[in-house]
Chains A and B, each alone.
Chain A
Amino acid sequence: MHWLSNIVVVLLLVGAVLAGRHVIRDRFWRENAIQLWRRRPVTIVIIGIYLLIALLDSIAWVDMPSEADALTSGKPRTVIDRIFRPEAFKEASYSAPLADVEFYGGKPLLFPGTHLLGTDLLGRDVVYRTLKGVRVALLIGGLTSLVVIPIALLFGVSAGYWGRRIDDAVFFAMTVLASVPSLLLLIALIMVLGRGTVQVCVALGVTGWVHFCRIARGETLKLREADYVAAARALGVSDAAIIRRHILPNIAHLVIITFALSFTGLVLSETILSYLGIGLEGSWGQMIDQARNELSRTPIIWWNLAGASVALFVLVLAVNMLADAMRDIIDPRTRREER
């Protein structure tokens, strides 16, 4: 699997470069991007750090047999793994942040004073586990949005543009989905599909596209009547080209904003899935779920919960702030008030 993830990283980087080139070349996007940077530099840097960690945790390779030692041979390890060396960098059980001795029993630690956030039940470093959770969180948000946005755009735009029977069909599908308790549907889907990352993302996507589909449909309904769409029709432009050149570019800002907002919702909903026991391996949700039991101990073991919660909180807050700033910049109504 590690080579697949490496390929995805390369594709993502290529995509980012292409997108960046488009932003730089197209004045509309360039001006908005500059404005966004001016408004929320700290937020953007924080999100950048998260992205960097996730990327570093996605590039993995297997060591040459000559270089590997007994603990690591044959296993693909990511850059983060190589920095922390979790196979060796561990204790027997709980230890408090920066402690010199074990939490229970008081035996001296193997690495005294180096575990910034202590260790968990199995002696694993909490900082390392928190950093490993970044990739999972971004995968949940990003991969699910990759499922949601195309589905919602396809259905929403065609329902809005052609109306009538297509609209009826899409609306029926949305109503049916909305009338099934989404958590139950989610659990059922994960039971059927399995518990892998991709499967959970697909399940979240299938249950989550309705909201954006509604937005896309409403906006298309409005744009369909726009004068420039009428002008394009009078020029003999085909329906497909009208959607591609006139409708989609005009709802692109909605796509960006919805992506950012749904991203945080998805990251948070993973915690609920973990609580129900169907979360993803190594996610913050699992760390928090584990911490439930630890909170009832005296003295309290808080660092496990703190690591995951703070990481989760900062990510969600940063993305929400970014989305908010983007909406202010892109939405013509709030834009006008500024002047």
Chain B
Amino acid sequence: MNEPLLTVENLSISFPGSSGGRIGVVDRVGFTIKAGETLALVGESGCGKSMTALAIMRLVPKPGRIDEASRIRFDGRDLLALAVPQMRRVRGASIGMIFQEPMTSLNPVTTVGEQVLEAVELHADISRGEARSRVLELFALVGIPDPKARFAAYPHQLSGGLKQRVMIAMAMVMRPRLLIADEPTTALDATIRAQILELLRDLSAKTGTAVLLITHDFGVVNEVADRVAVMYAGGIVEEGTRVELLSRPRHPYTQGLLRSIPRPEARGHRLEEIKGAVPRPGHWPAGCRFHTRCSFAFEPCPVDEPGRTSLSSTHAARCHLVAREARP
């Protein structure tokens, strides 16, 4: 009963390197999502957050591979052990996914209604008429005005915001228990972004769907997340509830990220930044991967990989400094 909806343990993903061997892009990532909860996975581009999402759907592009020690449990089932046809039934029916680019995520030669209908007919054994009314109902639910007219529209006739609503409708059509949203608002302008986030929050509350939100934007995190996990160079460095993470960040990387958000009261001052760039996969430094950019780095950092330090029942960080301060 108390088992979380989704448990990811020890998830590692690697790609073959150009000179033989394999290069890890995600390294022993673990997190859980409870039913109805929204978890935001935050990190810079290239830190492996999208790859983590694809791994849950078992859609890691070839020749990428999920390491054998990885465990992904969803709703009591081991997703990595499912046969392909069973996994296909999980996709779309139990886990929905929406993508970053609503502009290109719809097939240009079919009407949007047909495309959503495709999803319904795939997973539900109902007549075409029933499926159609279900799609129209859903269009109304995700706030598409005049659903009947939009049903017969082609993607190029819809705005970006409407297209993203269609994408959300498509992902939500089977009332999945988990919705993975991979930077759903990046391609949209600010006003539409607020609307889409509100829609996601609404839907989650109304249908009890858990959301895994992937983003690099703390504004988005602040608006919708219950809990937050921060990723850096393929691993989770800090996790906690929204309040813990946004108001009492402990990991130097999280602190740095939060400091580099532009704030109105800091107008006229130079924006703080984290020096350097994210190390590319295959070039991760030894020890703590952040130590090359960390201004607090001390002796153990380049040598030992920091373990997980629990700060509360929900808050934890992987940092030598945090570990030393927490020690009695």
Residues on A close to B: CB < 8 A? 27-28, 226-228, 230-238, 241, 245-246, 249-250, 252
Contacts and interface: CB of A to CB of B under 8 A. Distances in A.
Contacts of B88: 236-238
Contact of A234 (B89, B92, B106, B115): B92
Interface residues of B, number: 29
A235 B89 CA distance: 9
Contacts of B91: 233-236
A241 B97 CA distance: 19
Nearest to A250: B109
27 contacts: A226-B104, A227-B104, A227-B105, A228-B104, A228-B105, A230-B59, A230-B105, A231-B106, A232-B118, A233-B91, A234-B92, A234-B96, A234-B171, A235-B118, A235-B170, A236-B88, A236-B89, A236-B91, A236-B122, A237-B88, A237-B118, A237-B122, A241-B118, A241-B122, A249-B109, A250-B108, A252-B109
A243 to B, nearest CB: 13
A236 B90 contact: yes
Nearest to B109: A249
B284 interface: no
Interface in B289-321: none
Contacts of A246: 107
A234 B118 contact: no
A228 to B, nearest CB: 4
Interface of B: 57, 59, 87-93, 96-97, 99, 101, 104-110, 115, 118-119, 122-123, 154, 167, 170-171
Nearest 3 pairs of A and B residues by beta carbon: A236-B91, A236-B92, A235-B92
B29 to A, nearest CB: 20
A32 B237 CA distance: 55
Contacts of A235: 91-92, 96-97, 118-119, 122, 170-171
A230 B107 contact: no
A249 B123 contact: no
Q: In this complex, which of A232, A245, A246, A249 has the most chain B Cβ atoms within 10 angstroms of its Cβ?
A: A232
Contacts, number: 72
A234 B57 contact: yes
Contact of B59 (A28, A227, A234, A241): A234
Nearest to A230: B99
Contacts of A234: 57, 59, 91-92, 96-97, 99, 171
B77 to A, nearest CB: 15
A312 B104 CA distance: 44
Nearest to A238: B88
B129 to A, nearest CB: 18
Contacts of B104: 226-228
B154 A28 contact: yes
A245 B57 contact: no
Contacts of B93: 236
B122 A233 contact: no
Given A230-B99, A231-B170, A234-B57, A245 B106 contact: no
Nearest to B153: A27
Given A235-B97, A245-B118, 18 more contacts: A227-B99, A227-B105, A228-B106, A228-B107, A228-B108, A231-B106, A231-B167, A232-B107, A234-B57, A234-B97, A235-B118, A235-B171, A237-B92, A237-B118, A238-B88, A245-B110, A249-B110, A250-B108
A250 B122 CA distance: 21
B318 to A, nearest CB: 30
A27 B97 CA distance: 29
Contacts of B119: 235
A142 B106 CA distance: 34
A166 B109 CA distance: 28
A227 B101 contact: yes
Contacts of A249: 107, 109-110
A230 B219 CA distance: 27
A28 B92 CA distance: 28
A246 B155 CA distance: 14
Contacts of A238: 88
Nearest to A29: B109
Contacts of A252: 109
Nearest to A223: B107
B229 to A, nearest CB: 21
Nearest to B100: A227
A304 B57 CA distance: 69
A136 B154 CA distance: 41
Contacts of A233: 57, 59, 91
A330 to B, nearest CB: 11
Contacts of B59: 230, 233-234
A226 B123 CA distance: 23
Nearest to B116: A235
A283 to B, nearest CB: 38
A289 to B, nearest CB: 45
Contacts of A226: 104
A238 B110 CA distance: 18
Contacts of A27: 154
Contacts of B167: 231
A235 B96 CA distance: 7
A306 B46 CA distance: 69
A226 B109 CA distance: 13
A230 B50 CA distance: 13
Nearest to B157: A27
Most buried by B among A28, A227, A231, A232: A231
A232 B104 CA distance: 12
Contacts of A236: 87-93, 122-123
A106 to B, nearest CB: 66
A173 B88 CA distance: 33
A28 B157 CA distance: 12
B97 A250 contact: no
